Structure 1
Amino acid sequence: MAAFGLVIVVAACTSGPVTTNPGTGTATGSATATGGSETITVYTALEDDQLAEYIPMFEKSHPNIKVNKVRDSTGIITAKLLAEKDNPQADVVWGTAVSSLLVADQQGMLEPYAPAGLEAVQPQFRDDRNPPTWVGIDAWMSAFCANTVELEQKGVPVPTSWADLTKPEYKGMIVMSNPASSGTGFLSISAILQMMGEEQGWKYLDALHQNVVQYVHSGSKPCKMAGAGEYPIGISFDYRAVKQKNDGELIAAVFPTEGSGWDIEANALVKKANIKPGAKTFLDWAISPEIMGEYAKNFPVTAVKTDVPIPEGYPADPTKQLIKNDFNWAAKNRDAILAEWTKRYDSKSEPK
């Protein structure tokens, strides 16, 4: 049965760089409190439509901090961080999978920092060391987008479970995120291996592979493809499925009956010789009540409890949908999982 559980021992979709100009303010620790300005580089895997809402809030309250925002899929952000280990370019990581941040943390790449307001963060959403190396903002989970019109025309029902997706009637109908480039893809693969055990999990993935047309390099793209009618079913994540459904697309947002894989979108300060005060100001803001309320409009499970209603389209108790998740296991075995997955299934990946 799905359960909202963590096992954390060690603290711990695609576009090019985009530059915006959020600012500083007079928050504690900000270099701009004296009237100066600085530029910080923020790596993020948050969705573009979310950033369009969030970034202006920071710009308004901190007009003197310039943010060089680099947005990409989780896997690409992770690879970029690791490649830059000896010469880090990012100052802050914002809204990126904790399973990826754990990899960076295990390599000594994150600087411990306790942002203002940390006391309000639920214990399961932060590194348990003091000060923490990462702090979560919300959780996102596996979900399917099923194009109801396309499925009806083909005479097959909307799938309701992971098990359904391996049925022969869905052959050639499914697109899924590539776990090597997408955090959404990885959380789904990790969930299957944890729920079923590795032996049965790989057997399941072998069967699923028979029905998959393509693995794409984005967490949201499978839902977008399903919504556009390119393929009837996209294995994606909750926010994208619910948003497209609520925006009027003819899809069903499906939360699999066995439970959903999930991960925490988290923030961290990158360890480097020159840690800018503005980076700490940004991390303070990134868990503040005003932005936490905005996160809650998109995700029902947030690091800080809010009074924002659960968005329409989610299960009544979203925490019951979440499988028991061992993030340390996922981080420790990430490279081995991706190597095995690539060997077995990469032939169906879209060109990069």
Structure 2
Amino acid sequence: MTRTIARTRTSRTPRALVAAVGATAVLALAACSDDAGSGGDAASSGSGGAGGGTVTLVTHDSFAVSDDVLAAFEDESGLTVEQVAPGDGGALVNQLVLTRDAPLGDAVFGVDNTFASRAIDEGVLEPYTPAGLAESAVRYAVGDGGELTPVDVGDVCINVDHAWFDDAGIPEPVTLEDLTQPEYADLLVVTNPATSSPGLAFLLATVDAFGEDGYEAYWAELRDNGLKVADGWSDAYYVDFSGSEGAGPRPLVLSYSTSPAFTPTEDGTASTTGALLDTCFRQVEYAGVLAGAENPAGARQLVDFLVSEAFQADVPEQMYVYPADDSVELPAGWAELAPLADDPWDLAPEDISAHRDEWIQAWTATVVD
């Protein structure tokens, strides 16, 4: 949820493609060395201090920042930012765990609340809390040690192609239960929770909605109603979804509540797609300092940057999610076209950590096997 083309507001949808992170951004997994971790002590809170040199950000393949915003940070800090992107959110945490003795970089961005507890429990992060963290971000904190800093917020929801339903003369679904009805047979594509972070978020939404005793039966109904499962968000949205540039055959797709802001009508007053806000799961993404970082001071500065006003203001139109700092002014039209759900489905990170593998295995047995 791999995308490698620079995004623009007029032609991209949320989480769609990877923006180039400036001329200094280097995608190089081979940059790690066996002696990683000799760079100094971690700070528990406050200003990141002066690091200098190169700082490597380990992130998912949807990270994006405007060139001028990144350049201003590099000029002010004296740092050169390099990027390593081993995959989507789930792959990211797996890689952090697998490489904890020789970290892929210095800081991480993109660990979300579906994997946050695992990252903390595996000890791949150093405690650090930026001094300038907004109050609105603090409410999304996880754990007790300050290892992860909230950066952005988004809702994973089913999206609908308005024109398809208008042309077919079928009312659009509204709820999770609606998706199992015969009139919506063969219309829905979602992503695999074992390989996709939005897919996992949607699985968790169904666990919250139907309980541990009912979510498997719900997925069996979706399966029997012609559900299609894609490995990743790009294939689901750009290949299978009828409302995207790929003009696929399915008018219902798992995406984000912000997606409709980037499929505007010609006059810009409405959207050709919509998000079903009764189906949403709240997703929070975090940043942190990696244990054993070669440049821990630079990593702390980078985390400070990710919660700074400049970066937070850049988040909506670069990564198409909401900044964790709710005082940041949002792009025009977001309130109408990209609202967050009033009452999203949600699960405590510790519950996710305790049952995530069990729920994924049960889902796989129900839907795929």
TM-score for both structures, normalised by structure 2: 0.76
The structure richer in helix per residue is 1
Among 304, 311, 327, the alignment partner of 1:306 is: 327
**Aligned mates of 1:253, 1:313 — CA distance in 2:** 11
Distance 1:110 1:277, change over 3 A: same
Q: Does 1:337 align with 2:359?
A: yes
For residues 1-352 of structure 1, the aligned pairs below 5 Å read 13-15=1-3, 20=22, 21=24, 28-32=48-52, 37-38=53-54, 40-45=55-60, 47=62, 51-53=64-66, 56-63=68-75, 64-71=78-85, 72-118=87-133, 120-127=135-142, 129=144, 132-219=146-233, 221-224=235-238, 225-226=240-241, 227=244, 228-230=246-248, 231-245=250-264, 251-257=272-278, 259-272=279-292, 274-295=294-315, 301-309=322-330, 311-314=334-337, 318=340, 320-346=342-368
Distance 1:285 1:299, change over 3 A: same
Distance 1:204 1:213, change over 3 A: closer
Distance 1:234 1:162, change over 3 A: same
TM superposition shift of 1:46: 6.4
**Aligned mates of 2:123, 2:115 — CA distance in 1:** 13
Distance 1:84 1:343, change over 3 A: farther
**Aligned mates of 1:250, 1:210 — CA distance in 2:** 31
Q: Equivalent pairs: percent with the same residue?
A: 19
Distance 1:315 1:89, change over 3 A: closer
Q: Residues 316-340 of structure 1, C-alpha deviation per residue, up to 9 Å, x if partnerless?
A: 6x35232343121112211111222
CA contact (8 A) 1:112 1:133 kept: yes
Q: Which runs of 5+ in 1 are unaligned?
A: 1-12, 348-352
CA contact (8 A) 1:245 1:253 kept: no
**Aligned mates of 2:141, 2:170 — CA distance in 1:** 43
TM-score for both structures, normalised by structure 1: 0.80
**Aligned mates of 1:233, 1:273 — CA distance in 2:** 43
**Aligned mates of 1:300, 1:14 — CA distance in 2:** 18
**Aligned mates of 1:246, 1:306 — CA distance in 2:** 28
Amino acid at match of 1:242: A
Q: Residues 106-134 of structure 1, C-alpha deviation per residue, up to 9 Å, x if partnerless?
A: 1111110122313645432223635x100
TM superposition shift of 1:221: 4.3
TM superposition shift of 1:187: 0.9
**Aligned mates of 1:22, 1:68 — CA distance in 2:** 4
CA-atom RMSD in angstroms:
3.0
